[in-house]
């Protein structure tokens, strides 16, 4: 099965085949507070995960989600807001140190703040452009392995 690899050092997400071929790559943003799994820390957890749910199939790219439900469209002129846009891939931690990832609501999702992609500015989630979030969403099924290192 293909695997999503997220490099915190490079602020890059890649979808790779089992042989290591890169099928998809995009700049991302991880936690501004660094890495870690503590509740309320705003840090991005490290280790092995899987995609446990997907939200937003066929939604417009500027759809805003709250509680994983669509609540409207994001005004393109508004930047700097930490809106969850486009698609959501929920992560489930597979190791003892990251087992709380799902309850921390750590996602791979789209952001309106695309100018800051490539720098760690999130509250722990992995942010992508709305277009990249939608493209990745369409390429991966539930239970796709994810590695954050």
pLDDT, tens digit (0-9, with 9 covering 90-100), for 94-149: 999 999 999 999 999 999 889 999 999 999 999 999 999 999 999 999 999 999 99
pLDDT of 80 higher than 60:
no
pLDDT given for residue 81 in this prediction: 58
Structure-block tokens of residue 64: 């805003």
- Domain 3-148's class? mainly beta
The pTM of the whole model exceeds 0.75: yes
Q: Is the pLDDT of residue 77 over 50?
A: no
């Amino acid at each position: 099965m293909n695997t999503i690899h997220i490099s915190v050092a490079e602020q890059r997400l890649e979808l790779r085949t089992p042989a290591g071929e890169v099928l998809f790559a995009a700049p991302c943003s991880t936690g501004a507070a660094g890495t870690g799994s503590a509740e309320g820390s705003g840090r991005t957890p490290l280790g092995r995960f899987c995609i446990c749910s997907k939200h937003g199939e066929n939604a417009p790219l500027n759809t805003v989600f709250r509680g994983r439900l669509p609540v409207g469209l994001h005004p393109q002129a508004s930047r700097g807001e930490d809106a969850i846009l486009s698609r959501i891939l929920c992560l489930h931690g597979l190791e003892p140190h990251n087992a709380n990832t799902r309850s921390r609501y750590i996602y791979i999702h789209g952001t309106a703040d695309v100018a800051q992609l490539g720098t760690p500015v999130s509250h722990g989630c992995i942010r992508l452009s709305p277009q990249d979030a939608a493209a990745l969403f369409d390429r991966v099924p539930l239970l796709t392995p994810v590695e954050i290192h």
